[in-house]
C-alpha cells in the first residue's frame, strides 16, 4: 500500500495496521481539502490510476450526493473518501452495486461495535431513521465495470449544521462506546469492501441479498416513491430482488423499481 500525503496528518501506520492482509490491494491518496473526491478520482482513473486507488479528504468544498444533492462535510466531523474499483468482465457489476457497498459498510461498522445500523434502498445507511452515511457511485466513461465509489460517513454531527438538517442525521460517535481513530475506520471499511467485492464478483448480488434484506429499514413498511417527472407511488416495501431492484406491493400486485432518479420515503 502506498499513501501519499498532501498537507494532511493522515496516519499511514494506523491505516496499514487496520488493512492487515489487504494492504497490497489499495493505493491511498490523502488530501487536506478538495472540491469532490469523486470528481478528482474520476479524473485520476481516466488518467490511468489503478484499481484500488483511494482518495480521502479531510474536507470537501463541493461534495455531492445522489440526485445533485450537497454532501456536507467538515474537518474532524466526517470521513469522506472515494474508491476506484475495476470488476471482472464476467461479473454482474454494476447491477446492485450501491446495495453491495452499503452492506459492506454496515458490516464493517458493526464489526467496530456500532449497533442498530439499517440500510435504505438504494444508497444510505441509517440509525433509527437518521442518516449515518451515504454512497454515490459513478461509472468510468467507456468502462461499465469500472466504478468510482464515493462514501461519506458522519463521525459526529457538526455544531454548525443547520437545525433543519441536524435532526435528520446521526454521528458514528453516538453508536460507539469508544470512538475509533479515522484510520482504523477507513481500514476496516476498505478491507470489508474488498471482501464483499470478491463475493459479488464471483456470485453476484444474489449471494448477498439475504444479508442486505435483514438490514433494510423499510421492508414491510408502507412507503412512498418520489420520481422527478412522474406522480408519487405508494405501496408496501417487499425488499429487493436478485438484481437489487426495489419490490413494492401495490394493491396486491408486486411491482419492480430499479435505481436512478427515485427517492424512497415513509408514506
131 catalytic? Reply is yes
Asked if 82 and 41 touch (Cβ cutoff 8 Å), the reply is yes
Beta strands in the chain (DSSP E): 2-6, 27-34, 53-60, 78-86, 117-120, 124-127, 130-140, 143-154, 222-227, 233-240, 246-250, 253-257, 262-266
- Cβ neighbours around 227 below 10 Å, total: 13
Catalytic residue (one of 25, 130, 131, 224): 131
- Which residue bears the cell 461519506? 152
Query: What's the rounded Cα separation, in Å, for the pair 175 and 115?
Result: 6
Catalytic residue (one of 64, 66, 145, 209): 66
Catalytic residue (one of 67, 69, 256, 265): 265
The set of cell numbers assigned to 76 is 474532524
120 catalytic? Reply is no
Query: What's the rounded Cα separation, in Å, for the pair 197 and 240?
Result: 19
Asked if 113 and 176 touch (Cβ cutoff 8 Å), the reply is yes
Which contacts of 9-17 are long-range, i.e. CB under 8 A and separated by 24 or more positions? 10/56, 10/183, 11/181, 11/183, 14/181, 14/183, 14/184, 14/187, 15/183, 15/186, 15/187, 16/187, 17/184, 17/187
Query: What's the rounded Cα separation, in Å, for the pair 104 and 210?
Result: 13
Query: What's the rounded Cα separation, in Å, for the pair 87 and 89?
Result: 6
Asked if 148 and 41 touch (Cβ cutoff 8 Å), the reply is yes
265 catalytic? Reply is yes
Active site amino acids: 66, 131, 265
Amino acid at each position: 500500500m502506498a499513501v501519499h500525503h498532501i498537507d494532511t496528518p493522515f496516519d499511514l501506520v494506523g491505516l496499514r495496521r487496520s488493512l492487515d492482509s489487504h494492504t497490497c490491494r489499495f493505493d491511498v491518496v490523502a488530501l487536506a481539502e478538495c472540491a469532490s473526491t469523486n470528481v478528482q478520482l474520476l479524473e485520476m482513473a481516466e488518467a490511468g490510476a489503478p484499481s484500488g486507488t483511494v482518495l480521502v479528504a479531510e474536507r470537501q468544498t463541493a461534495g455531492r450526493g445522489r440526485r445533485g444533492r450537497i454532501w456536507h462535510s467538515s474537518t474532524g466531523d466526517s470521513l469522506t473518501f472515494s474508491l476506484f474499483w475495476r470488476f471482472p468482465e464476467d461479473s454482474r457489476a454494476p447491477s446492485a452495486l450501491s446495495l453491495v457497498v452499503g452492506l459492506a459498510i454496515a458490516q464493517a461498522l458493526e464489526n467496530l461495535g456500532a449497533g442498530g445500523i439499517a440500510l435504505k434502498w438504494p444508497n444510505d445507511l441509517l440509525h433509527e431513521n437518521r442518516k449515518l452515511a451515504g454512497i454515490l457511485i459513478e461509472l468510468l466513461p467507456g468502462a461499465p465495470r469500472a466504478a468510482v465509489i464515493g462514501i461519506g460517513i458522519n463521525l459526529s454531527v457538526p455544531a454548525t449544521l443547520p437545525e433543519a438538517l441536524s435532526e435528520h442525521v446521526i454521528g458514528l460517535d453516538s453508536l460507539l462506546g469508544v470512538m475509533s481513530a479515522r484510520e482504523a475506520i477507513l481500514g476496516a471499511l476498505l478491507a470489508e469492501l474488498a471482501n464483499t467485492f470478491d463475493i459479488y464478483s464471483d456470485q453476484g448480488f444474489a449471494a448477498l441479498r439475504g444479508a442486505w434484506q435483514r438490514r433494510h429499514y423499510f421492508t414491510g413498511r408502507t412507503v412512498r416513491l418520489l420520481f422527478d417527472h412522474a406522480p408519487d407511488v405508494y405501496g408496501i416495501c417487499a425488499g429487493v430482488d436478485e438484481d437489487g431492484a426495489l419490490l413494492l406491493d401495490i394493491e396486491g400486485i408486486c411491482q419492480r423499481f430499479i435505481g436512478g432518479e427515485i427517492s424512497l420515503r415513509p408514506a
